Amino acid sequence: MDQFTLNWIFIGASFALYIGIAIWARAGSTSEFYAAGRGVHPVVNGMATGADWMSAASFISMAGLIAFTGYDNSTFLMGWTGGYVLLALMLAPYLRKFGKFTVSEFIGDRFYSPTARMVAVICLIVASTTYVIGQMTGVGVAFGRFLEVDNTTGLLIGACVVFAYAVFGGMKGVTYTQVAQYCVLIIAYTIPAIFISLQLTGNPIPALGLFGEHVASGESLLVKLDQIVAELGFNEYTAHHSDTLNMVLFTLSLMIGTAGLPHVIMRFFTVPTVAAARWSAGWTLVFIALLYLTAPAVGAMARLNISDMMWPNGTSSEPVSVETMEAEGRYEWMATWQKTGLLNWEDKNGDGKIAYFNDKNADKVAEMEAAGWGSENELTKFNRDILVLANPEIANLPGWVIALVAAGGLAAALSTAAGLLLAISSAVSHDLLKGQLTPNMSESGELMSARIAMAVAICVATYLGLNPPGFAAQTVALAFGLAAASIFPALMMGIFSKRINNTGAVAGMLVGLGVTLVYIFLHKGWFFIPGTNSFSDADPLLGTIKSTSFGAVGAMLNFATAFIVSNATKAPPQEIVDLVESVRVPKGAGAAVEGH
């Protein structure tokens, strides 16, 4: 059976499963649409949250960014997992005890202000829309390759599938669909990693193989990789080369952004009790760890395989010839990916070879010129988002593994897209329409408005996904920065400070969101329109702080503004002080503790 047919079978079967689950678990009430009826088991919720969390950025993009940068991009792993510890200990149980449907509803009630609720809605929509751009980017990449269609067509197909199961199923349908998607994506991620680890190190556990011995050379795999990339003029893989301040701020931004992401927090409203919310966060960490412990090995092993393919007889010999690339089966994946426009090479000096090296390194350029291989890198394009999807082909694994990875990549992107779109539709229907504009709306009317809002959000996300501001993981990092700067401080102060009032909270959120958004637009272009930026992340406005790291600074400004304004204005009323005390103390949690 040919690869294209296999891809269709695996992807089609997984989509049929998702849509079937959505029909089975169709939401019939607002409680089921927003919070799955608050009856989800912690283990099930942990698995669903893992799928909701491990997006196209985690599955498709993260290992690619680690592969081509090395240690410095381990910040993605540290920030994203650290954020769940914060969420489990400091937010999830308290928000579940409060007993509302949405993050914005909590902020509106805690800060006794419709304005605060509306500002929270704006922050949520901005962060979630930015995040969903990254997911749709991943959908386009995956469909473009495996269904052999262009990126735009791939995006449109993905949007239709999300529409089919998210609009009708709501949180109830999305929850059980995400459980299935987690199973698909974790199997799809780990099976190729196990094969490749066995090939390169003889160890079936990729995380251990990463620190094992390279079978062909007898050296440590990481020592071998360091040696090869250094010989090609790149930075050593395991060394720290980036700016430490930016690295710390980026990790912190991802961490507190994780704890402030509305679509993740919403998952903890679906469990029956406060204790279940804590257990859900713990199980989520377990399910995430299965992929996150594997990702560094995937990145390192793929980088080694790519380098070996481009220099088949070693870096001291000659680069791969065009004739070899066209004749040998193990290079077929490059020709296939070239059709998507995400991978390309060019014999610039006409010597019949494709020389892959760092042409930004003057010493390496001089060395390559002296050897007769030219002065320019001839592997002209290698989009970081393709690495995990191409990995089974790079390692020459069976066709069914390639098809499984295709289904896994789409499961990762679509599961998170559904969660984000649900957060956006809940904010519009429950917080904006029901909460402010039309408070007398019936439950059926609210359910219909939620579905219409989600449909509109899908259209906007698809349009923006056609021109993303970076690779999937980089776009997602911007969303984390926005959530970190706007929502996380408001939640933390709402739970742990009795003195923060409505004026302070609103001022803090506006300052955090506004300053961070402006900083991002100055570096990525206004409203992400190409060519409208004044700075770049290679030459940032403030010292070495890149746009993806600025969320931590925005959060500090949010905290500072809220404290200054609150202390300069009237203290919150006594009933709000009592409410904060009630949320923080287990006693009196009622249904949230007892599960009724």
Query: Is 469 a residue whose pLDDT tops 70?
Result: no
| φ/ψ bin of 110: left (φ > 0), alpha (ψ from -120 to 50), beta (otherwise) | alpha
φ/ψ of 63, rounded to 5, equals: -65, -35
Question: pLDDT class for 283, splitting at 50, 70, 90?
Answer: confident
Token digits for 133? 């751009």
SS3 at position 396: coil
**Three-class DSSP category at 525:** coil
**Residue 526, pLDDT score:** 85
Q: Under 8 Å CB-to-CB from 570, ≥6 apart: which residues? A: 501
Q: Is 519 helix (H, G, I), strand (E, B) or coil?
A: helix
User: What pLDDT is recorded for position 168?
Assistant: 62
What is the C-alpha to C-alpha distance for residues 346 and 338, in angstroms, rounded to an integer?
A: 11
Output 363 or 61, whichever has higher pLDDT.
363
Q: Please say if the pLDDT value at position 31 is more than 70.
A: no
CB neighbour class for 67 (10 Å; exposed up to 12, middle 13-18, buried from 19):
buried
Q: What is the CATH number of the domain that holds 32?
A: 1.20.1730.10
Distance between CA atoms of 362 and 504, rounded to whole angstroms? 53
- Output the pLDDT for position 210: 92
Angle between helices 443-465 and 114-146 (to 10 degrees): 50
Residue 591 has pLDDT above 50, yes or no: no
Residue 107 lies in a domain: yes
Q: pLDDT by residue (tens digit) across 386-403?
A: 888 888 888 788 888 888
Is 330 part of a structural domain of the chain?
A: no
Number of structural domains, the chain? 1
Question: Alpha-carbon distance 11 to 301, whole Å?
Answer: 26
Q: Determine the average pLDDT of the residues in 35-56.
A: 75
List 220's β-bridge partners, or say none.
213
pLDDT of residue 593: 46
SS3 220: strand
Q: SS3 for 547-592, per residue?
A: HHHCHHHHHHHHHHHHHHHHHHCCCCCHHHHHHHHHHHCCCCCCHH
The mean pLDDT value for 56-66 works out to 79
pLDDT at 51 over 90: no
Q: Tens digits of per-residue pLDDT, 95-150?
A: 878 776 678 888 988 999 889 988 988 888 888 887 777 777 777 777 776 777 77
Q: Name the nearest CA neighbour of 415 among 158, 155, 31.
A: 158
Higher pLDDT, 100 or 18: 18
Average confidence (pLDDT) over 236-251: 90
Q: What is the mean pLDDT of residues 60-89?
A: 84
Mean residue pLDDT across the chain? 83
**Is 66 a member of any domain?**
yes
Question: What does each C-alpha distance from 260 to 212, 490, 540 come to in angstroms?
Answer: 37, 9, 25
For residue range 143-164, list pLDDT tens digits in order: 776 777 777 787 888 788 777 7
Is 351 among the domain residues? no
In a domain, 488, yes or no: yes
% the chain with pLDDT above 90: 28
Identify how many contiguous H helices and E strands the chain contains and give both numbers: 27, 2
More confident residue, 378 or 449: 378
Residue 594 has pLDDT above 50, yes or no: no
**Is residue 313 in some structural domain?**
no
Q: Residue 502's pLDDT is what? A: 94
Q: Is the pLDDT of residue 560 over 90?
A: yes
pLDDT at 24 over 80: no
Tens-digit pLDDT profile for residues 533-553: 899 888 899 989 999 899 999
Is there a domain that residue 592 lies in? no
Residue 484 lies in a domain: yes
**Domain limits for position 462:** 3-306+388-584
pLDDT (tens digit per residue) in 476-517: 777 888 889 999 999 999 999 999 999 999 999 999 999 998
* Three-state SS annotation for 531-546: CCCCCECCECCCCCCC
| pLDDT level of residue 38 (50, 70, 90 thresholds) | low
Q: 18 — phi, psi (to 5°)?
A: -65, -45
Q: What DSSP assignment string belongs to 449-515?
A: HHHHHHHHHHHHHHHHHTS-SSSHHHHHHHHHHHHHHHHHHHHHHHHH-SS--HHHHHHHHHHHHHH
Q: Is the pTM of this model over 0.75?
A: yes
Taking the C-alpha atoms of residue 474 and residue 108, their distance in angstroms, rounded to an integer, is: 31
Phi and psi torsions of 500, nearest 5°: -70, 125
